[in-house]
Structure 1
Amino acid sequence: MAAEFDVEATLAKIPLPDKIKLLSGVGWWNTHAVPAAGLQSLRMSDGPNGVRGSQFFNGVPSSCFPSSTGLGSSFDVDLALRVGEALGVESHAKGCHVLLAPTVNTQRSPLGGRSFESFAEDPHLNGTIAAAYINGLQSKGVAATIKHFVANDQEFQRYRVSLLLVCVRGSTEGRVGEVSERALREIYLKPFQIAIKNSNPWALMTAYNRVNGLHVSENPRLLVDILRGEWGYQGTIISDWIGVYSTAESIKAGLDIEMPGPTVMRGKAVERLMIAEKLFTSDIDERVRKILVLYKHALDSGVPFDAPEGSIDTPELRQLLRTAAADATVLLKNDKQILPLKTGIKKIAVIGPNAKRAMTSGGGSAQLRSTYAVTPFEGITAAANEIGAEVTYHIGTPSHNTLPLLDGSIRQGNGEPGAYMQFWNESPSEDFLSTSPHLHAKISEHVWDVPTHSTNCFLADGVDDTKVNEVCYIRYTTKFTPDETGSWELGLSVAGAGNLFVDSKLLIDLSTDPEQGESFFGLGTIEKREVIDLEAGKTYDFEIRISNASFVSRGSPFSCRGGIRLGGCRKSGGARDIEEASKLAAESDVAILVIGLNHDWESEGFDRQNIDLPRLTNNLVAAVLKANPNTVIVNQTGAPVAMPWADSASTILQAFYGGNELGNGLADVLFGKVNPSGKLSLTFPKRLEDSPSFPSYGDRGQELGKILYNEGIFVGYRGFEIRKLEPLFAFGHGLSYTTFEYSGLQTSAIPAGNDPKFAVTFTIKNTGSVSGREVAQVYIADPQSSLPRPLKELKGFNKVALEAGESKVVSVELDREALSFYDDRRAAWVAEAGKFDVFVGASSTDIKLTGEVELEKSFTWKGL
């Protein structure tokens, strides 16, 4: 069918009004169908760590893979390829033609709310892993959408902030120089450039923000000159959701599709501008032509149109999820060789707020409903049973920002899991939102009802539009059975106005001038909390009534029926709980302390305010370490956090958000079924102030709506090295249960020409007693450069599997990318003649071998 599809012939068949329709989406996830031309609607879905499908609310369960920082830390190109392939298969099951992934924005700061979505702070690693992911996904016929082009690295004022990229000239102290393209080219555009060169993603998503004063979605310098011109990109350009701020400008700059629908900036506005001859049919045709190419890919894929959504769950997929979770784990310290845990251990204390909750993903558009999830406690318990060890548990201290959801502990009136929701288009009674405990007027018949599995319902989709109006009234009922007796804290946030009743008594009032907060992508209220005494095993009737009338009247960038989020947990005992957890640790052979963040703290929509672990976490760590020095600390975060206790701890693992199999993957590493081989894709600073972007990130860097990129090209490890600052854990750092020896560095000569290829060759030997994998990293330095350059930059890597005692010769192929820097003065990439230092290491700071190569003649180049 695709072979018969002719883009130009189809373009000629489409009436102009339908061409204009194609320039924007219909609903949240679809393009317009054009029956006259035989075009059906393309379906899109969020990624990057799963395929959510076409609904936030009541979505079909999906596989959740480790967060991108975890996948990046695997340094495993083959694993990224296989993850992409699996996402392609899941896309087929979801009827998805276009996956909105991967994210390759450079992590400029550890505070970025979406840092967990990108692979690395280093552009080479970021772009290389992205290319493998894209190749895997597109091998299944599903379009990848590389995003967010470009410099979408903070959530603070993301729709309007202007990012001024500057370079540092002749200084190591962050002095601001002139506004320049050098940082943009070398750090922020580079991962896109690498991925586009090596994988050709069929779609690209523009960022929300401005770059040097102009929104990316209408920026001809970025979209026309660089992306389409220099790089020759032929794919479809899609806006981020509500990320279009102009009509003619965005169309002429090459933005093909405005998402989501219904259109705000196109449609009738395009017709008006064509009458005024500010737009012409040729402008429209050029955009539609790119959309039709995407449609041709969809025909090739075999993904059905308008298909019912399903899930994939096979033994092979579960094994891949488990492998990915283990390989996304980094062993940071193992000073006392406590790990791997061995036979002979009789009692293990599992402690911490992240132990009994499966923190599969960060928050926002990356979050999804997992087909299943294995908690660290479950994975550790299963592995401990195999060696005959007893496992005990204590939370120690909570770490939530918003109260944990009550999913799994709620039942409908008929006994089925979940809750029941009813919808009305008019208030069913005069006192529907009343603070009185009962509805006194008779409730009219609802227009629609639906069960739901969760106490978190974002009603941006999944509601029957043919029955439920934009303004509606909702009743949510469920039965809750607590697992602990005591004082419980319950918290409610809504998009709209509403109240929570427990056993027909008002507990939380959010109907009377509710205070706005950050819930539901900034559309909802604060979480209002109240304390109530509950008894374990007793069932309580929960009822939430909300109206979205105030929400709609206030104005929203997209259609939404409102939202409900109800959370709760037993109120923390503070110091008493920490004391109990410490006592449990002292009575055990080994304590495994699972701490970190969750999607409350790391999410689209907001940035972190600091890099501290939440609440009393550090107090808990200090107490448990004192009680039992044989404590394994597992930190589960998407981005770096401060660890003031790091010197006192002998054993630390970085687990990231591990997806469905996070518990089993972690246990495989803890108990030695998998020898850890991950290496940090992000530098962990000792303190936030050491981060290169600290003076000019988020609200600290704002100056009349502008953020100055004071650090220029010195991002991540580049900034630490040039300022001679020691990080907590270096970029590329990660230990193994075995040891490796490096030797025999050789470099081939660099041939003449402006696209030379050369190789760095060396030998690695496994000098330990168990098999393992080592990530050998190749860094290049240009000490003779005419412009300041980093002390070294990652330009290649190779992950090598070795049996105990085995040696292998490793060859890392390099090209002109390894030699060049961007020169604003020449508007070109420059490789200058001279000697370049070659470093081979186990991390950016653990250099094993040094050598050099020489470029005989300088050259310049542009493009890919």
Structure 2
Amino acid sequence: MLIFNKNIMSPTATTAKQLDIEKLIEELTIEEKLSLLAGKDFWHTVPIERLDIPSIRVSDGPNGIRGTKFFNSVPSNCFPCGTGLAATFNKDLLVEVGQLMGKEARMKGAHVILGPTCNIVRSPLGGRAFESYSEDPLLSGHAASHVIQGIQSQKIVACIKHFVANDQEDERKAVNEIITERALREIYLKPFHIAIRDAYPKALMTAYNKINGVHVSQSKQLLQELLRKEWGYDGTIMSDWHGVYSSKESLDAGLNLEMPGPTRFRQQTATLHSIQTNEIHRDVIDDNARYILKLVNESLKSGIPKDVIESPNPTQEASALLRKAGDESIVLLKNDNNILPLSKTAKEKIAIIGPNAKAAQDSGGGSASLNAAYKITPFEGIESKVKEGGNKITLDYSLGAFLDRNLPDIGHTLINELGQKGLYARFYKEPPESNNRKVFEEFPLSTSRIFLSDFKSKNLAPGEILFYADFTGTFIPDETGDYDFGVSCLGTAQLFVDDKLIVDNKTKQTKGDAFFLGVGTREERGVLHLEKGKEYNIRVEFGSSPTFTLNKAPLEGGGVYFGIRIKTTGEELIKKAVEVAKDADKVVLVVGISKEWESEGFDRPTMDIPGYTNELVSAVVKANPNVIVVNQSGSPVTLPWIKDIPAFVQAWYGGNELGNTIADILFGDHNPSGKLSMSFPEKIEDVPSFLNFGSTNGQVIYGEDVFVGYRYYDKVKRAPLFPFGYGLSYTTFELKNLVLSSTNDSINISVKVKNTGKVEGAEVVQVYIEPINPNIIRPVKELKDFGKVLLKPGESKTIKLTISIKEATSYWNGYKSKWQSDKGKYKVLVGNSSDNLTLEDEFETDRTFSWIGL
């Protein structure tokens, strides 16, 4: 039973007394100081009870606040993914998003949120692209800074990550990224620069990768010279999880906290020996300990009580904000003949087709994924709109194509022995063949994707990770036919139907990519004929990671994924979908990818949507030309049929409310106002990093230099399929009366925006700066600020923006190792996307100057 914790202290509550850091540095023993420099466990720092230094709790946070458990965690609210949030181009809304994250961290007892993520979407193939914000460093920096402002307004610490250039998953802990200093400064460091300058996150997480030969987590150049000295950053620096590669080097560089615990590289015997032999200076230990105590002090300001019982946030206010953020994130990219919005009251038949129509693609995979408190599928969202219109619309459905990399989660289709949707789990210390098995834990579960890396029980001794479990449920088929059964695992597993062995992933195992670190088996399958309406007892017998036969499993208890699906072919599914489409007035095709394809731990092999989706779209549009395609992905996918369809909607991974937000856009209850946070190329070969993505013998060259995204397409005069900053509306806008004034320090921009259409809507005003006759090779133009305004039909408002001269004009001068602003003329280009800049003016600077710092 979930308990809503009403006793969590508010941000205005009395906070605990602050620690006297310098006094503690004198009182702590060297052993106690060392213990502070690594985590206690996966989510906590080490307390020193003798001196009243408490443990602090951290939680994953880019998509929502998970809390302290992967397995069977307390449900959380899932936010739209990072690229979707950036597509709102709404600074005020992002502050609200951060505030809700801060409130929910408090309810999970977390003092520190491990987020936001503000790496660059260098390629659509990046496995964690969805977690980040944009291909553009300014949009990324502003999105991060406003989310951080919201989080820290709740007296919760934001830990910005991953510093720096964690832009691919291929060999992410080993890859050496060769990056010019200019590209590093102008593109990859710039979001952190902006966020630290404008919001000052109290913590920062280092990246896994190397830059120019040195792991970031032990780089004195990046952590000491740049962060501490040049930027004056005084927050706490922690590693990514298992992202430490040395003892002395990381301590000397100022990596304050090794996570998670217990330590791998800061063990007391070895580190004390290094201190006693003057390999590591005692002052280095003191300096690092000071930053841990600073983080403790910042955490004490939250007033979060010790050992909080984690609770969800099932409030209407939270759902409303998630829906608002999702509504504003969705981008309308094509709408020929105004086929959208749909009418709720028209007497017509709408076919809902596609692998994502009845699936809830709430987030990408990996550490950003969580146990969402609820999920609304696109079909459910559309069904609700039809009911609102009096059920005059008839809905029909067809799957159309499979998307799953493996067979789908069946937690929502099984019935457990309590009569609830889901399955039932029983844990044993004895294997299935034992005659004297005793249950030591049992409870219902809602998913058949079971990740036990942090499974704990009072009946298991510390460090005891060998155990067994039976997962059971009843399956009732919707139709008669042959069914595929699949099992992948990190450990061993066998699946039985009515006590008959159907899948064996125990006696013979093959390496695959199960689990987000790609360390499990491939999915093994079996086939069984089932009859419609008949009850079948499903049992999966699982052995934890020590039983794994392929290699030593690194994820503690391991895990098992299993699924069931009727056996069919892609051609058969398309044929059924075409028949449904022919009989409809309009078709909504919900396609895209999922967390199985876009996830931490691996990069996408291609930009294509996997499986038969492209064939499905082409076949359906031939059968019925009135097709609206809704795509869900965190980054671009190939769209070979885009010219054949009248409407296209980019919906991202939408969090809890994804189905409602898609329906809000389709039916016009929310006028789309999202703008693309990255360019959508026509094909992967057009991407500037195409020849230089992924690890080649442990190395990747950032050969496109500063020409990332639209900077590249502008320079080579090659139009992408959809440009950065682009997005349509159900109304029209006029931008006029550009007024520009400048001083030696700043330029002031004023633009009048008018809604010239018939419905309320919001427009994003984007300001780009173009150097005229630059002294070096530079991007044609760069985004320097933006603002969003909501207007009723016929209403006008003036947007005013101020941009500092140094930010508007500067580039990194590698010879001087400073930013440089050149004397000369610059264009100010204003419009509503990077390729539609309808207003223009110029300003001139009268001096060349260099600068450094924030």
**Pair in the same fold by TM > 0.5:** yes
Look up the equivalent residue of 1:477 and give its one-letter code: T
**Unpaired runs of 5+ in structure 1?**
166-179, 433-438
The one of 571, 577, 589 equivalent to 1:575 is 571
Instruction: In structure 2, give the amino acid aligned to 1:453.
Output: S
AA matched with 2:342:
L
1:397/1:572 contact within 8 Å kept: no
Matched AA of 2:598: E
| Inter-partner Cα distance in structure 1 for 2:479 and 2:95 | 44
Q: CA deviation at 1:4?
A: 4.1
Q: Deviations over 1:798-823 (max 9, x none)?
A: 10111111122221211121110001
CA deviation map 1:339-397 (0-9, x unaligned): 11123242111111101011100000010011111110000011022222111111111
The letter of the residue matching 1:27 is: D
Q: Aligned residue for 1:162?
A: 176
Q: One-letter code of the match for 1:804?
A: P
Provide TM-score, normalisation by structure 2: 0.95
After TM superposition, the structure 1 = structure 2 runs for residues 352-431 of structure 1, keeping only pairs within 5 Å, are 352-387=354-389, 388-425=392-429, 427-428=430-431
Change (3 A) 1:403 1:373: same
Q: In structure 2, which of residues 31, 35, 42 is the aligned counterpart of residue 28 of structure 1?
A: 42
Deviations along 1:290-347, whole A, 9 cap, x unmatched? Answer: 1111111111112222211100011111111111111110000011101111232421
Is structure 2 residue 795 aligned with structure 1 residue 806?
Answer: yes
Confirm or deny: 8 A CA contact 1:345 1:589 kept in the other structure: no
Q: CA deviation at 1:282?
A: 1.5
Aligned to 1:174: none
Alignment partners' CA distance in 1, 2:347 and 2:645: 20
Counterpart of 2:233 in structure 1 is 233
Bigger mean CA deviation after superposition, 803-812 or 814-823: 803-812
Q: Does structure 1 residue 502 correspond to structure 2 residue 497?
A: yes
CA contact (8 A) 1:750 1:854 kept: no
2:103 paired with 1:113: no
1 CA distance for matches of 2:347 and 2:305?
53
Which residue is equivalent to 2:67?
Answer: 53
Mapping of 1:35-74 within 5 angstroms? 35-74=49-88
Q: Does 1:486 align with 2:481?
A: yes
Change over 3 Å in CA distance of 1:844–1:47 after alignment to 2: same
- In structure 2, the residue matched to 1:584 is 580
Map of 1:90-489 to 2, 5 A cutoff?
Answer: 90-165=104-179, 180-268=180-268, 269-342=270-343, 343-387=345-389, 388-425=392-429, 427-428=430-431, 432=432, 439=433, 441-464=434-457, 467=460, 469-489=464-484
Match in the other structure for 1:172: none
Alpha-carbon separation, structure 2, partners of 1:155 and 1:622: 32
Q: Residue 410 of structure 1 contacts residue 480 of structure 1 at CA under 8 Å; is this kept in 2? A: yes
Q: Partners of 1:389 and 1:705 in 2: how far apart?
A: 56
Question: Structure 1 residue 764: deviation in Å?
Answer: 1.4
Q: What residue number does 2:667 align with?
A: 671
Measured against aligned partners, the alpha-carbon deviations of 1:102-129 in whole angstroms (never above 9, x if no partner) come to 0000011000000000111100000001
1:841 and 2:841 matched: no
Work out whether residues 353 and 395 of structure 1, in 8 Å CA contact, stay in contact via their aligned partners in 2: yes
Q: Is 1:636 paired with 2:632?
A: yes
Which stretches in structure 2 are left out of the alignment for 5+ residues?
A: 1-14
Per the alignment, residue 820 of structure 2 pairs with 830
CA distance in 2, matches of 1:219, 1:104: 20
**What secondary structure does 1:795 align onto?**
strand
CA contact (8 A) 1:398 1:572 kept: no
Q: 1:19 to 1:162 in 2, by over 3 A?
A: same
- 1:775 Cα deviation (Å)? 0.5
How many Å separate the matches in 2 of 1:610 and 1:545? 35
Counterpart residue number, 2:757: 768
SS in 2 for 1:399: coil
Partner of 2:546: 549
The match for 2:687 is: 691
Moved more, 562-571 or 539-548: 539-548
- In structure 2, distance between residues paired with 1:67 and 1:277: 47
Alpha carbons of structure 1 residues 230 and 572: separation in structure 2 relative to 1, 3 Å: farther
Residue 245 of structure 1: SS of its match in structure 2?
A: coil
Residues 754-793 of structure 1: CA deviation (Å, up to 9, x unaligned): xx12212221111111111000100011132222110110
- Does the aligned pair in 1 maintain the 2:18–2:297 contact within 8 Å? no
Find the aligned partners of 1:274 and 1:665 in 2 and give their Cα distance: 57
Q: Provide the C-alpha distance between the structure 2 equivalents of 1:375 and 1:553, rounded to a whole number of angstroms.
A: 38
CA contact (8 A) 2:509 2:550 kept: no
Partner of 2:10: none
Match of 2:593 among 586, 593, 597: 597
CA contact (8 A) 2:510 2:550 kept: no
- Distance of 2:531 and 2:305 partners within structure 1: 50
Query: 1:853 aligns to what?
Result: 843
Query: Contact 2:484/2:526 (CA < 8 Å) preserved in 1?
Result: yes
Letter in 2 for 1:788: I
What is the rounded CA distance, in whole Å, between the counterparts of 1:417 and 1:576 in structure 2? 29
**Partner letter of residue 175 of structure 2?**
V
Whole-Å separation in 2 of the counterparts to 1:272 and 1:555 = 30
Aligned positions of 1:717-728 closer than 5 A: 717-728=710-721
**What's the % identity of the aligned pairs?**
45
Q: Say if 2:546 and 2:552, in contact at 8 Å, map to a contact too.
A: no
Cα distance between partner residues in 2 of 1:453 and 1:75: 36
Corresponding pairs, count: 831
Query: 1:3 offset after TM fit, Å?
Result: 4.5
- Which residue type is aligned with residue 535 of structure 2? T
Q: 1:516 aligns with which of 491, 511, 520?
A: 511
The CA distance in 1 between the partners of 2:748 and 2:271, in whole Å, is 53
CA positional deviation for 1:465? 5.9
Q: Which residue of 2 aligns with 1:780?
A: 769
Instruction: Return the match for 1:531 from 520, 527, 531.
Output: 527
Select between 522-531 and 823-832 the one with higher mean Cα deviation.
522-531
Is the counterpart of residue 750 in structure 1 residue 743 in structure 2?
yes
Q: Does 2:709 correspond to 1:716?
A: yes
Counterpart contact for 1:14–1:36, Cα < 8 Å: no
Q: Distance in 1 between matches of 2:54 and 2:451?
A: 28
Matched residue, 2:7: none
1: distance between equivalents of 2:539 and 2:774? 68
Provide the C-alpha distance between the structure 1 equivalents of 2:64 and 2:535, rounded to a whole number of angstroms.
Answer: 35
- Following superposition, the deviation at residue 735 of structure 1 comes to 0.3
- Would you say the 8 A contact 1:183–1:712 is kept in 2? yes
In the alignment, the residues of structure 2 paired with residue 685 and residue 271 of structure 1 have an alpha-carbon distance, to the nearest angstrom, of 54
Q: How far has the Cα of 1:473 moved from its partner?
A: 2.8
Task: Identify the range of structure 1 (623-632 vs 96-105) with the bigger mean alpha-carbon deviation.
Answer: 623-632
Distance 1:855 1:50, change over 3 A: same
Measured after TM superposition, the shift of residue 12 of structure 1 is 2.9
1:641-677 CA-partner distances (Å, limit 9, x unpaired): 0101111111100000000001111111111111100
CA contact (8 A) 1:45 1:52 kept: yes
Moved more, 305-314 or 494-503: 494-503
Aligned letter for 2:70?
Answer: F
Measured against aligned partners, the alpha-carbon deviations of 1:736-755 in whole angstroms (never above 9, x if no partner) come to 0011111122211232xxxx
Which of 733, 738, 763 does residue 740 from structure 1 map onto?
733
Cα distance between partner residues in 2 of 1:540 and 1:12: 67
